Amino acid sequence: MSENISPFHSQRTSYEPRLPKALQGYARVEEVEGSVAVSDPDVQKLFPQTFEGKMVKLVPGDKPATTEPLTIGVVLSGGPAPGGHNAIAGLYDALKKIHPDSRLLGFLNGPIGVIQGDYIELSDELIQKHRNTGGFDIIGSGRDKIESAEDIDRCARALSTLGCKALVVIGGDDSNTNAAILAEELKARNSEIQVIGLPKTIDGDMRNEIIETSFGFDTAAKTYANLVANIARDARSARKYTHIIKLMGRAASHVALEVALQVHPNLTIISEEVEKRGLTLDQVVEQIVDVIVRRASADKNYGVIVIPEGLLEFLADFKELLKELSLMMKEHEEVLHAFHSDEDVRQFVNRHLTAESAKVYGSLPDSIQHTLLKPDKHGNIPVSHIETDVLLMDLVKLRLDELTQLGQFKGTFSPITHFFGYEGRCVPPSNFDAEYCYALGYAAVSLITAGLTGFTVYGQNMMASPEDWVMGGVPVTSMINMELRKGKMKPVIKKALVELEGKPFKAFAAARDNWIVEDDYHFVGPIQYYGPADLADARTLTLTYERS
Amino acid sequence: MSENISPFHSQRTSYEPRLPKALQGYARVEEVEGSVAVSDPDVQKLFPQTFEGKMVKLVPGDKPATTEPLTIGVVLSGGPAPGGHNAIAGLYDALKKIHPDSRLLGFLNGPIGVIQGDYIELSDELIQKHRNTGGFDIIGSGRDKIESAEDIDRCARALSTLGCKALVVIGGDDSNTNAAILAEELKARNSEIQVIGLPKTIDGDMRNEIIETSFGFDTAAKTYANLVANIARDARSARKYTHIIKLMGRAASHVALEVALQVHPNLTIISEEVEKRGLTLDQVVEQIVDVIVRRASADKNYGVIVIPEGLLEFLADFKELLKELSLMMKEHEEVLHAFHSDEDVRQFVNRHLTAESAKVYGSLPDSIQHTLLKPDKHGNIPVSHIETDVLLMDLVKLRLDELTQLGQFKGTFSPITHFFGYEGRCVPPSNFDAEYCYALGYAAVSLITAGLTGFTVYGQNMMASPEDWVMGGVPVTSMINMELRKGKMKPVIKKALVELEGKPFKAFAAARDNWIVEDDYHFVGPIQYYGPADLADARTLTLTYERS
């Protein structure tokens, strides 16, 4: 009872991730046949020092005759994702294999730690305690960016003072882009310090043809799927509640799609489809109402509806409303501040919106009308503060009340809303994420010893057993596009959205009609770290559809 | 991909719960030495037919020379709890062992199914699909009560028409009390139909010296503990949010206490302690504020605070307010309805409360003031509709704003609220609950063949391996007290509340100060059904402290 860590924690720290064959001995890099450097002249111009990199894979090499100790820095960037600690453990073990005197420095609380040179040296003991555990707490994370020339100078100084040969940035699309910029800028300053990125996001949007999946997605999606499945079983047992469940995923709906494929909720909204079809808020409400009415006709006054966190910004009319509001608030900021009564504000806003947007705005509950007029410190409309699940619940309720009055709905609607986000970000990594992250960290060291900079580590053939995974590096520049952001062309890694022509969505689209009235809920259970391989080593259905 | 059930579901249906030794062959009942029948004359008077029952245990017996097929009915009552399907599987297997032509009839959607004679016969196939799964959906559940003489007559008729030798009621304290009343009433009608109850509640309050634990508590508490642990790890990783987490448990705080023991949140409120110490809403708010201020001084503007669902009704001042409001609404219902403006209502309420209660009422946010004046269909104040987590968050925020103004708080407070309830009620039962429930169902059949009625099945020695569990039956009447309910003396099984002198609470009280500022979070992981025994066969810490 007075143990320092839980039995689960204790058991997990002794789990040994399997390594891909190439990493078991001493890996060397090999250029991938047919890979070409960046051809976009705009990207070339932005990355003159690093645009020529070509994709490499790691293959078994010979043990080097002599090896020197190596010092590497690592930093965690952005929201936590399951597996971060394993990525660091992989880095650590690979470094120690090169030379027992090698050092891994962990910069504290995100990129600001690099800028300020705040770090701790990672020890055997600390690493051991964190193997196969969730969280980013081993060194903390942060959302600062290394952007200004001054920040870059300070990073260069800190890394150089500490004797770091390289910095490994563990983060999502933005963080990997920033890693590429840092790599470029360091080279431009004649620094030999290398920068390598690892692909992290639980949203699953940091991936492409080369990077099969981002780390954390497997564990988080399985965690949410289990929660949704438990609630579905509850819905079917209690037979009286309609659960509206919002799942993490601001830009991409991969998490919602994966949960839909695993659990078969009665309705799952996918933002990308909503956008493609140009649906409005009203149309999405109608879609939900239709499901509830159909189920009520089958005497099922209960159900499970899944929506993605970012839905609102994909709705045709809501997007337009946001655009108009944003413009209005910039133009009339002072006028808006001067009003004393809510009624005056309402009238003013109404007058300055197009008829369509005024109608949408007017359809929203008071509290949301208010929220939309309170820009955050960056001057943006705080859409993420809107509880989309509650909003939809309210609008669906109104519509059902109307149908009841008209005699067109004889059922009952007892809604319960949920948001699952924080529950999944720091889960102990599934065996898949534990092994993937460990391999990512391990592979990063091989890319560093090969002298590469501005690369993101990737894993391929991931439906296979870890021994057969192909690990390597892809130049970040090769994934970069120029996009207009706040009026300026910026280099960005394109977020992987749900492809409506992709196999996962097609499988969903082909089956979903059968899930509306039938309770075809699948009960997926909590993540199993032990036991039968089809549980303990399961892949997400997204990966399965895409890669098998 | 097109399989009918998930791989987890498929694996779990083949899990075979271990049976207690006495049940492995043919069990017989043996009176427990020293057990005495009910002595309370009021209870005797209410249960003249059944009050003489004495506690029995099951011991290995001989195989009967001949056995006849048996028909038994089963009904699920109240909210779902993990293991219900296993209790039914245990009944089924035990019945089939007696004779392959035995039948198990499942009454549909709770007690109303018995009254109306709505049932399905449980088949091999149906049972197989539900073994070791969560939920109550195999036959549905309900909250109706079999109370009136007419309902009892109808039950008697339905059971007798169907040839049921007995009815097994799976439910909590109320349902077991009702089982006793039904047993009594059937006997009074010269019916030989027996009634046996099983102890179910995820809240953990249907237990006593004889019944070591109620089924479902193990699985649900572990599920919530894992969610709280994941959020704690997130809090420590992101270092910017204070999570206020409300956990199921309207009357007793066993779930919150178990989660506290497992995870070590920075603060856990236990309703029973709040009541004992006569704390007010304000004092609880101060307690939370104090933790936040202390952590902020240690540069920790994040944390995890756990509160039980039923907290409000244990607060001295809030209880008094509820009493006064309830009285006022009964006396002045029509006056209250006549008011047109909120302001008028507010003034009226203020005038009719004592100064203390008026102050508490006035301290509540508008929306909660409204909620409290909207009695439900039974005329009760809908306290459960109040989002206690949100209320506390708002009040804590106000107080911290004040302290900030006074220069006494220099930290930040970014709260996020959660309520975990539905997430835990239908989880696939842990191995413990799977085995316990299977044994409960199995044992019920032995009590029935022994001719007992009005008994609740119990399990003892449950820290040991299932083979060594002692199963038996305790007369419900022996657990019954007479209590004043809505002005009438009613027979009730006393809910087991958290004992402040009990070992689990004492262990918590001795350690909790160390958890306030230090992040001593324990990461317990999701329930494991496979793997190391200290994970797959773990007991709750509540049971461990109480029974080892």
Nearest CA in chain B to A227: B423
Specify whether the CB–CB gap between A195 and A453 falls below 8 A: yes
**φ and ψ at residue A472, rounded to 5 degrees:** -175, -165
pLDDT of residue A1: 37
Nearest CA in chain A to B533: A7
* Distance to chain A for B55, nearest Cα, Å: 33
**Nearest-by-Cβ selection for A422 from B11, B234, B528:** B234
Nearest CA in chain A to B416: A422
Q: Looking at the annotation, which residues of B are catalytic?
A: 203
CB contact under 8 A, B427 and A227: no
Mean pLDDT of A360-388: 89
* Distance to chain B for A236, nearest Cα, Å: 6
Nearest CA in chain A to B526: A526
CB contact under 8 A, B525 and A6: yes
Which H or E run contains B217?
Answer: helix B217-238
pLDDT of residue A367: 87
pLDDT of residue B3: 52
CA–CA separation, B375 and B383 (whole Å): 9
**Nearest-by-Cβ selection for B237 from A9, A80, A523:** A80
CB contact under 8 A, B137 and A233: yes
Residue B117: name the closest of B165, B85, B164 by CA.
B164
pLDDT in tens, B249-279: 999 999 999 999 999 999 999 999 999 999 9
Which H or E run contains A333?
Answer: helix A333-338
CB contact under 8 A, A507 and B1: yes
Specify whether the CB–CB gap between B70 and B88 falls below 8 A: no
Residue A59: name the closest of A20, A18, A99, A17 by CA.
A20
Query: Any catalytic annotation for residue A203?
Result: yes
- Between chain A and chain B, how many beta carbons pairs sit less than 8 Å apart? 192
For residue B134, list chain A residues with Cβ-Cβ distance below 8 A: 230, 233, 523
pLDDT of residue A3: 52
Interface with chain B: mutation pick from A3, A8, A12, A547, highest number of B CBs within 10 Å: A8
Q: Which of A93, A151, A173, A203 is catalytic?
A: A203
Mean pLDDT of A209-238: 97
Specify the residue for token string 């890996």. Answer: A27
**Nearest-by-Cβ selection for A425 from B234, B507, B529:** B234
For residue B137, list chain A residues with Cβ-Cβ distance below 8 A: 233, 236-237
The total number of residues shown for chain B amounts to: 548
Which 3 state secondary structure label does DSSP give B180? helix
Tell me which residues of chain B have a pLDDT lower than 50: 1-2
For residue B534, list chain A residues with Cβ-Cβ distance below 8 A: 7, 11
Nearest CA in chain B to A78: B238
pLDDT in tens, A284-310: 999 999 999 999 999 999 999 999 999
CB contact under 8 A, A529 and B534: no
Residue A217: name the closest of A467, A524, A526, A436 by CA.
A436
* Distance to chain B for A532, nearest Cα, Å: 8
For residue A236, list chain B residues with Cβ-Cβ distance below 8 A: 135, 137
CB contact under 8 A, B531 and A529: yes
Nearest CA in chain B to A142: B238
Specify whether the CB–CB gap between A302 and A266 falls below 8 A: no
For residue A535, list chain B residues with Cβ-Cβ distance below 8 A: 7-8, 11, 530
CA–CA separation, B67 and B97 (whole Å): 10
Residue B96: name the closest of B60, B132, B121 by CA.
B121
Inter-CA distances, A433 with A219, B231, B437, Å: 7, 19, 34
Specify whether the CB–CB gap between A517 and B11 falls below 8 A: no
The half-sphere exposure of B24 on its side-chain side, counting CA atoms within 13 A, is: 11
pLDDT of residue A378: 77
Mean pLDDT of chain A, nearest integer: 95
Specify the residue for token string 């699909």. Answer: B129
* Distance to chain B for A543, nearest Cα, Å: 12
**Nearest-by-Cβ selection for A236 from B135, B523, B541:** B135
Specify whether the CB–CB gap between B418 and B440 falls below 8 A: no
CB contact under 8 A, B237 and A141: yes
Nearest CA in chain B to A417: B419
For residue B426, list chain A residues with Cβ-Cβ distance below 8 A: 230-231, 233-234, 237
A158: which 2 tokens?
Answer: 């800190």
Q: How many CB atoms lie within 10 A of CB B102?
A: 20
Predicted-complex ipTM score: 0.96
CB contact under 8 A, B11 and A532: yes
CB contact under 8 A, B233 and A137: yes
Judged on CB neighbours under 10 Å (0-12, 13-18, 19+), B438 is: buried
For residue A427, list chain B residues with Cβ-Cβ distance below 8 A: 230, 526
**Nearest-by-Cβ selection for A6 from B418, B422, B522:** B522
Eight-class DSSP state of B12: H
Q: How many CB atoms lie within 10 A of CB A232?
A: 29
CB contact under 8 A, A141 and B227: no
B289: which 2 tokens?
Answer: 């504020």
